[in-house]
Structure 1
């Protein structure tokens, strides 16, 4: 199927390197599998709103901060689905207080400033990219601080818990990736 689509693109004068196309195709396939696992389970469990909210919160953090990556893409897809469903499920069961969430926000901002974004063996970032990603990450995190303050005034604790969980997962992911990279001396 992917060869057919690539040939159609070429026939229609859409110039795209073959290796770039196949890389993009594999990423698209992984996202499709992720959603094929995650969305039906979320619907079945009655947590679809929480799942979509968690993804809306977590994806911007992950995109600019980076973090730990598994070596096998299917392991990554399954773990990502499990983490997303778990985070969505427990968000309504947590009782985080304002101080804990504020400390987590500050810890993530500090950690981002000190070590993020984290390079990956297969995707090195230039110093300019690191500067831009760090700046965007900190802006997102500061936005989340203000969003938490706003949501507290309306007692929207489920959404606040999703922000807290996303920030905790991000902290764990970037810290582990950072220490792993330094251990490998890369």
Structure 2
């Protein structure tokens, strides 16, 4: 019995050191990031927005992000927990597809980017793919009376490329894209 107790204490001490080193490494690593591990806050038109949290843009003059299972409430981050075989979920996704095609009639035959009709696991994803933004480009150009080429250049300029071209897909922060869109003459 005494041998097991000593072994358990040794293992506990080793794990305490390992976990402490891991926490120190993560904390120190976050401090070298541009935001130093804090939320990225954007002040725009007298309001404070968090770029790390998805926003709800309802107007057809703006790019729309991913749907949210929690109505963009950061206090209640969660997914819907409904799988692809759930009938209610399939109806919700179909409704989103129909709405998206109605808002973007010139894209009726184009493949709908999946992130525009499915919520993320957190329900707060602030990013969409380049294809998701390009799918909406013609509607934005028409609604704002801006050339499609200018909108496509804006999308290209706002696209964040993956680190070293390897880690993850390209993405666009919808809040930053819409602010840049508002600033476009």
TM, length-normalised to structure 1:
0.25
TM, length-normalised to structure 2:
0.25
Larger Rg: 2
Higher strand fraction (1 or 2): 2
Higher helix fraction (1 or 2): 1
